[in-house]
Amino acid sequence: MAPKTSMARFTHPGEKVRILLSGARIQRRIRQMAAAIRKDFPKERLHLVGVLKGAAFFLADLARYIPGDVSFDFIAVSSYGKDTHSSGQVRLTRDLDSSIEGRAVIVVEDILDTGMTLSYLLKVFQQRKPKHLRVAVLLDKPERRVAAVRADYTGFTIPNEFVVGFGLDYAERYRNMPAVGVLSFTSSKKKAH
Protein backbone atom coordinates (compact mmCIF):
# COMPACT_ATOMS: atom_id res chain seq x y z
CA MET A 1 0.00 0.00 0.00
CA ALA A 2 1.35 3.43 -0.95
CA PRO A 3 2.18 5.74 1.96
CA LYS A 4 0.01 8.75 2.76
CA THR A 5 1.36 11.82 1.01
CA SER A 6 2.40 14.91 2.92
CA MET A 7 2.36 17.82 0.48
CA ALA A 8 4.75 19.90 2.53
CA ARG A 9 7.57 17.61 1.41
CA PHE A 10 7.11 18.60 -2.24
CA THR A 11 5.77 22.14 -2.54
CA HIS A 12 7.98 25.19 -2.92
CA PRO A 13 7.04 28.64 -1.59
CA GLY A 14 4.19 30.12 -3.60
CA GLU A 15 2.92 26.72 -4.71
CA LYS A 16 -0.06 24.75 -3.48
CA VAL A 17 -1.12 21.20 -4.28
CA ARG A 18 -4.62 19.85 -3.79
CA ILE A 19 -4.73 16.07 -3.85
CA LEU A 20 -6.96 14.70 -6.58
CA LEU A 21 -6.03 11.00 -6.53
CA SER A 22 -4.42 9.29 -3.57
CA GLY A 23 -1.54 6.89 -4.06
CA ALA A 24 -3.71 3.99 -2.87
CA ARG A 25 -6.46 4.84 -5.34
CA ILE A 26 -3.97 5.04 -8.20
CA GLN A 27 -2.55 1.63 -7.32
CA ARG A 28 -6.03 0.07 -7.19
CA ARG A 29 -6.85 1.46 -10.60
CA ILE A 30 -3.57 0.34 -12.18
CA ARG A 31 -4.25 -3.22 -10.93
CA GLN A 32 -7.65 -3.14 -12.67
CA MET A 33 -6.11 -1.80 -15.87
CA ALA A 34 -3.44 -4.51 -15.82
CA ALA A 35 -6.13 -7.19 -15.46
CA ALA A 36 -8.14 -5.69 -18.32
CA ILE A 37 -5.10 -5.61 -20.60
CA ARG A 38 -4.21 -9.23 -19.87
CA LYS A 39 -7.83 -10.27 -20.43
CA ASP A 40 -7.74 -8.71 -23.91
CA PHE A 41 -4.47 -10.49 -24.75
CA PRO A 42 -4.52 -13.72 -22.72
CA LYS A 43 -1.65 -15.47 -24.47
CA GLU A 44 0.53 -12.76 -25.95
CA ARG A 45 3.79 -11.40 -24.72
CA LEU A 46 2.94 -7.78 -24.11
CA HIS A 47 5.53 -5.19 -25.02
CA LEU A 48 5.02 -1.98 -23.05
CA VAL A 49 6.47 1.18 -24.56
CA GLY A 50 6.73 3.97 -22.02
CA VAL A 51 7.04 7.63 -22.90
CA LEU A 52 9.80 9.18 -20.81
CA LYS A 53 9.88 10.56 -18.28
CA GLY A 54 6.29 10.97 -17.13
CA ALA A 55 5.21 7.38 -17.71
CA ALA A 56 8.08 5.75 -15.78
CA PHE A 57 6.16 5.08 -12.55
CA PHE A 58 2.93 4.11 -14.29
CA LEU A 59 4.79 1.67 -16.54
CA ALA A 60 6.69 0.17 -13.62
CA ASP A 61 3.48 -0.57 -11.71
CA LEU A 62 1.53 -1.71 -14.76
CA ALA A 63 4.32 -4.10 -15.76
CA ARG A 64 4.36 -5.62 -12.27
CA TYR A 65 0.57 -6.08 -12.16
CA ILE A 66 0.17 -7.69 -15.61
CA PRO A 67 0.52 -11.46 -15.17
CA GLY A 68 2.58 -13.47 -17.65
CA ASP A 69 5.13 -12.41 -20.24
CA VAL A 70 5.81 -8.71 -20.33
CA SER A 71 8.74 -6.83 -21.81
CA PHE A 72 9.22 -3.09 -22.04
CA ASP A 73 11.12 -0.32 -23.71
CA PHE A 74 11.16 3.45 -23.54
CA ILE A 75 10.92 6.30 -25.99
CA ALA A 76 11.43 10.00 -25.35
CA VAL A 77 9.84 12.93 -27.10
CA SER A 78 10.08 16.63 -26.63
CA SER A 79 7.42 19.13 -27.44
CA TYR A 80 8.64 22.63 -28.05
CA GLY A 81 7.37 25.45 -25.92
CA LYS A 82 6.69 26.33 -22.32
CA ASP A 83 7.10 23.81 -19.52
CA THR A 84 3.43 23.61 -18.58
CA HIS A 85 2.02 23.80 -22.10
CA SER A 86 2.08 21.34 -24.94
CA SER A 87 2.98 23.32 -28.02
CA GLY A 88 1.96 20.78 -30.63
CA GLN A 89 5.41 20.31 -32.21
CA VAL A 90 6.60 16.85 -31.28
CA ARG A 91 10.05 15.41 -31.92
CA LEU A 92 11.62 12.03 -31.08
CA THR A 93 14.62 12.50 -28.80
CA ARG A 94 15.24 8.85 -27.90
CA ASP A 95 14.12 5.89 -30.00
CA LEU A 96 13.32 2.35 -28.91
CA ASP A 97 16.08 -0.21 -28.34
CA SER A 98 14.38 -2.95 -30.35
CA SER A 99 11.98 -3.48 -33.23
CA ILE A 100 8.25 -3.65 -32.53
CA GLU A 101 7.41 -5.46 -35.77
CA GLY A 102 4.94 -8.28 -35.14
CA ARG A 103 4.68 -7.55 -31.42
CA ALA A 104 1.73 -6.76 -29.19
CA VAL A 105 2.56 -3.21 -28.22
CA ILE A 106 0.94 -1.13 -25.50
CA VAL A 107 2.02 2.49 -25.53
CA VAL A 108 2.09 3.71 -21.94
CA GLU A 109 1.70 7.45 -21.32
CA ASP A 110 1.15 9.52 -18.19
CA ILE A 111 -1.53 11.85 -19.51
CA LEU A 112 -3.53 12.41 -22.67
CA ASP A 113 -3.97 16.16 -22.99
CA THR A 114 -4.09 17.78 -26.45
CA GLY A 115 -3.30 14.38 -27.94
CA MET A 116 -0.45 15.75 -30.09
CA THR A 117 2.19 13.51 -28.50
CA LEU A 118 0.23 10.29 -28.82
CA SER A 119 -1.03 10.96 -32.34
CA TYR A 120 2.56 11.56 -33.43
CA LEU A 121 3.82 8.40 -31.70
CA LEU A 122 0.99 6.23 -33.02
CA LYS A 123 1.78 7.35 -36.56
CA VAL A 124 5.46 6.47 -36.08
CA PHE A 125 4.72 3.09 -34.46
CA GLN A 126 2.04 2.08 -36.98
CA GLN A 127 4.64 2.31 -39.76
CA ARG A 128 6.76 -0.25 -37.91
CA LYS A 129 4.05 -2.92 -38.32
CA PRO A 130 3.30 -4.14 -34.81
CA LYS A 131 0.82 -7.03 -34.54
CA HIS A 132 -1.29 -5.00 -32.12
CA LEU A 133 -1.00 -1.37 -31.10
CA ARG A 134 -2.90 -0.15 -28.05
CA VAL A 135 -2.68 2.86 -25.74
CA ALA A 136 -2.81 2.97 -21.95
CA VAL A 137 -2.89 6.33 -20.16
CA LEU A 138 -3.10 6.97 -16.46
CA LEU A 139 -4.93 10.28 -16.89
CA ASP A 140 -7.14 11.77 -19.57
CA LYS A 141 -8.00 15.49 -19.89
CA PRO A 142 -10.54 15.30 -22.73
CA GLU A 143 -11.38 19.03 -22.61
CA ARG A 144 -8.04 19.98 -24.11
CA ARG A 145 -8.03 17.51 -27.01
CA VAL A 146 -6.88 18.85 -30.37
CA ALA A 147 -5.76 15.67 -32.16
CA ALA A 148 -8.23 12.85 -32.78
CA VAL A 149 -6.76 10.19 -30.54
CA ARG A 150 -8.22 8.03 -27.81
CA ALA A 151 -6.80 5.62 -25.30
CA ASP A 152 -7.81 1.97 -25.13
CA TYR A 153 -7.19 1.90 -21.38
CA THR A 154 -7.70 5.00 -19.23
CA GLY A 155 -7.02 5.24 -15.52
CA PHE A 156 -8.88 8.41 -14.62
CA THR A 157 -10.65 11.15 -16.56
CA ILE A 158 -9.82 14.47 -14.94
CA PRO A 159 -10.89 18.10 -15.36
CA ASN A 160 -8.81 20.67 -17.24
CA GLU A 161 -6.36 21.53 -14.49
CA PHE A 162 -2.59 21.30 -14.28
CA VAL A 163 -1.69 18.19 -12.31
CA VAL A 164 1.55 16.91 -10.82
CA GLY A 165 2.73 13.72 -9.15
CA PHE A 166 3.06 10.04 -10.06
CA GLY A 167 5.48 10.91 -12.87
CA LEU A 168 3.98 14.25 -13.84
CA ASP A 169 6.17 17.26 -13.22
CA TYR A 170 6.27 20.98 -12.89
CA ALA A 171 9.80 22.18 -13.79
CA GLU A 172 11.02 18.57 -13.22
CA ARG A 173 9.68 18.51 -9.64
CA TYR A 174 6.81 16.48 -8.12
CA ARG A 175 7.42 13.40 -10.29
CA ASN A 176 8.24 11.36 -7.17
CA MET A 177 5.03 12.30 -5.34
CA PRO A 178 2.98 9.07 -4.94
CA ALA A 179 -0.36 10.87 -5.38
CA VAL A 180 -1.69 13.12 -8.15
CA GLY A 181 -2.66 16.66 -7.23
CA VAL A 182 -3.71 19.95 -8.81
CA LEU A 183 -0.93 22.53 -8.71
CA SER A 184 -1.77 26.17 -8.14
CA PHE A 185 0.24 29.27 -7.36
CA THR A 186 -0.52 31.39 -4.36
CA SER A 187 1.63 34.39 -5.29
CA SER A 188 2.51 36.20 -8.52
CA LYS A 189 4.35 33.08 -9.60
CA LYS A 190 3.82 31.78 -13.14
CA LYS A 191 0.40 30.31 -13.90
CA ALA A 192 0.16 26.69 -14.96
CA HIS A 193 -2.37 27.07 -17.78
CB 37 within 8 Å of CB 153: yes
113 is catalytic: yes
Near ligand IMP in 150-189, by CB under 6 A: 162-164, 168
Q: Which amino acid is at 153?
A: Y
115 binds ligand IMP (CB under 6 A): yes
Smallest distance, ligand IMP to C-beta of residue 110, A: 5
* Stretch of 10-18, 48-56, 123-131, 185-193 lying at the interface with Mg ion (CB under 5 A): 48-56
Smallest distance, Mg ion to C-beta of residue 28, A: 23
54 binds Mg ion (CB under 5 A): yes
Q: Which amino acid is at 86?
A: S
d(CA 191, CA 181): 15
Q: Given strand 15-21, what is the order of strands in its sheet? A: 15-21, 180-185, 163-164
Give Dmax (Cα) for the chain: 54
Contact residues for ligand IMP (CB under 6 A)?
Answer: 54, 86, 109-117, 162-164, 168
- Which residues carry out catalysis? 113
